[in-house]
Amino acid sequence: MRIELESLPGHYIRRLQQIAVAIFLQETEATGVTPVQYAALQTVANSPGTDQRTLARSIGFDTSTIAGVVDRLEARGLLLRSASPDDRRVRLLSLTDAGQALLDEVTPGMQRAQVRMLDPLPKDQRAEFLRMLRVLVTANNELSRAPRDDG
């Protein structure tokens, strides 16, 4: 059976992910931050004191992957882990001053990357494209290796 890759949505979704990462890295190259690291830093900035497991669920990553991300960010002096007063096994995350400074530095490049990703679409179609992406991701969330916890 002959199947044309160009007829498969999964092929385009994979390619779009590659393109999105490439654009993000081009725009933020000087900071050395990956898209996953950015998501972790921004999530901790939005919810200081969140724990590692909650961080993983909120950005749709498995706990073992996010542990490595947090390790690298902590080694760079960008995140701080502290023991929870309620459960000594739980580590709470907060940005360091250096982490906040890096997040402030990377944000303009991240925003330029978002514009570049959508730039090929006519302006009046961008919101609809994002709406359709959210529908697909939300409807298929439970099929992910690391379902996002939107609750």
For residue 125, what are the domain limits?
5-141
In a domain, 151, yes or no: no
Local confidence band at 149 (pLDDT 50, 70, 90 cut-offs):
low
User: pTM for this structure?
Assistant: 0.88
Residue 146 lies in a domain: no
The rounded distance, in Å, linking the Cα atoms of 127 and 1 is 37
Look at residue 147 and tell me if it is in a domain: no
Q: How does the average pLDDT of the chain come out, rounded? A: 92
* CATH number, domain containing residue 74: 1.10.10.10
- Helix locations, 2-122, DSSP H: 9-28, 35-46, 52-59, 63-75, 97-118
What is the total count of domains within the chain? 1
